[in-house]
Structure 1
Amino acid sequence: MTEPRRGRPRTPLLSRESIVAATLQVIDAEGVAGVGMRSVARAIGVDAKSLYNHVDGKDGLLDAVAEHLLGGLVLPEPTGDACRDLRAIAQAFRARALAHPGAAPLVLTRQLSSLEGLAPVDAVLEVLLAAGASAQESVHLLRMLLATLIGTLLREVSAAPTFGGADGARRGALQASGLPAVVRTAPHLAEFDREAEFEYTVDLAVTAVLTRIDLQTAR
């Protein structure tokens, strides 16, 4: 009977994909703050130094995750209806950001120059240009839309589970504040329907953008 060969255990196969998967594992367990070369290497079972052959430090890890998530973004086919197209892009962006809520801030805030990072930007600019906005105006409107979308999504993923809960505790605290406008609107301030808030925000932003384009083109 041949005895099994003994020696050093095999090193797990390293690739950018395996590193991204391990980084997401760390994020899901500890949040973005827990990401580091050592924590990711520990999740894979390798020495942290070996990661440098694939990513450039912690920023490289975070960019790789953001690119991975954006790379999975399924952009809708343009219909020629600017309102419908902008809303569809926003919905696709939200769906991808919420795929890993802990990693959502990376998708929303990392400034990427890769194809994955620029594809959503290009899609929005195409719609704005086709709607009649100039190149310069399109960039201004793009930045406003992104700021609005990022703000509402960051609020959605970071809101505590009890925020807008049905137990009435928040409503009671608001009504007890003694501030007239807060007391008057307390029932609504105490509620937080994520889907409704997102729809309202996107609808308002898209309406403002298209109204702006109409005003500019009418001059």
Structure 2
Amino acid sequence: MAARVPLTRDRVVASALVLVERHGVEALSMRKLAAELGVEAMSLYNHVANKDDVLDAITVVVFERIEPPTPSDDWRADAVALADAFRRAALTFPRTASLSLTRQLRSESALPLTEVALDVLRRAGFDAEQAVHALRALLAYVVGTLLREVGSSPAFAGLDPDARADRETTLAGAGLPRVAESAETLSACVHEDEYRFGLTLMVDALAARVPLTP
């Protein structure tokens, strides 16, 4: 008989992540997690405090996947690279992304990334206060586009050609001239293109706000 693998916090968190990716965040419970691990629910509490602790822990896993770029002499390229790294990590776990993007971490896992982002913006020329505002604006954009991306239907993402064609026909025939002329583009959302377009706008806008050096 094979030796039983010991229950550890890492195993509990890894199994929770698998459950969330399989069934969604709303399906996670301590009872289901225990069943996934083949143990009694009470055994979990030797390794995690409660469900909130589990949710925090799987959020940390996603944050730990973010690989900050090596600083360069181009802060704009660094800002884009950091946003891209954040997006890649989130999309690695698409069903966990809504949790990772909106949960307020009680640990300090996000602080090293905050340091990297603030350093990029300080090197751009923002003072300490402005850098925080700029960071929050960038983060709000990236989180918003990611939530739309992971939550959109295949039809909206353009993955169902028939659904897209039907939507385009509906838009074209809505009797609204501006909607009709943009019906092909409105009928689906190419997430990569939308993300790039908006991110470029955000970085351009931040560059325009960099204080002039006396």
Name the TM-score, length of structure 2 as normaliser. 0.90
Specify the alignment match of 1:136 in structure 2.
129
In the TM superposition, 1:24-103 aligns within 5 A as: 24-103=17-96
The answer as to 2:158 corresponding to 1:198 is no
1:188 is aligned, of 185, 189, 192, to 185
**C-alpha displacement of 1:176:** 2.7
Change in 2 beyond 3 A, CA 1:135/1:172: same
- Determine whether 1:217 maps to 2:209: no
Alpha-carbon separation, structure 2, partners of 1:173 and 1:61: 45
Report how many residues are paired. 210
2:110 match? 117
Q: Which runs of 5+ in 1 are unaligned?
A: none
Per-residue deviation at 1:113?
4.5
Aligned partners of 1:140 and 1:35: how far apart in 2? 35
Distance 2:41 2:4 in 1: 12
Q: What amino acid is aligned across from residue 169 of structure 1 in structure 2?
A: D
Query: What is the root-mean-square deviation of aligned Cα atoms in Å?
Result: 2.0
Q: Is the 8 A contact 2:168 2:187 kept in 1?
A: yes
Where do residues 12-27 of structure 1 align in structure 2 (5 Å cutoff)? 12-27=5-20
Deviations 1:73-112 (A, max 9, x none): 1111110211100000011111100111111112211222
- How many Å separate the matches in 1 of 2:3 and 2:42? 17
Shift of 1:56: 2.4
Residue deviations 1:144-201 (CA, integer Å, cap 9, x gap): 1110000001111111111143331111122232233222211111132121111112
Secondary structure (helix, strand or coil) at the match of 2:45 reads helix
The residue type equivalent to 2:203 in the other structure is V
Contact 2:56–2:106, Cα closer than 8 Å, also in 1: no
Amino acid corresponding to residue 9 of structure 2 in structure 1: R
Q: For 1:39 and 1:10, how far apart are their aligned partners in 2?
A: 23
- Deviation for aligned residue 1:39: 1.4
> What SS does the corresponding residue of 2:66 show, helix, strand or coil?
coil
Distance in 2 of aligned mates of 1:86 and 1:174: 36
Select between 171-180 and 184-193 the one with higher mean Cα deviation.
171-180
Letter aligned with residue 181 of structure 2: R
Q: Does structure 1 residue 173 correspond to structure 2 residue 170?
A: yes
Identity %: 40
Deviation string, structure 1 residues 21-64 (Cα, Å, up to 9, x no partner): 11111112110111121111111111222222222222111110
Q: For 1:50 and 1:11, locate their aligned partners in 2 and report how far apart those are by CA, in whole Å.
A: 14
Greater Rg by CA: 1
Q: Contact conserved, 1:129 with 1:135, CA < 8 A, in 2?
A: yes
Structure 2: which 5+ runs fail to align? none
What is the CA–CA distance in structure 2 between the aligned matches of 1:53 and 1:209, rounded to whole Å? 47
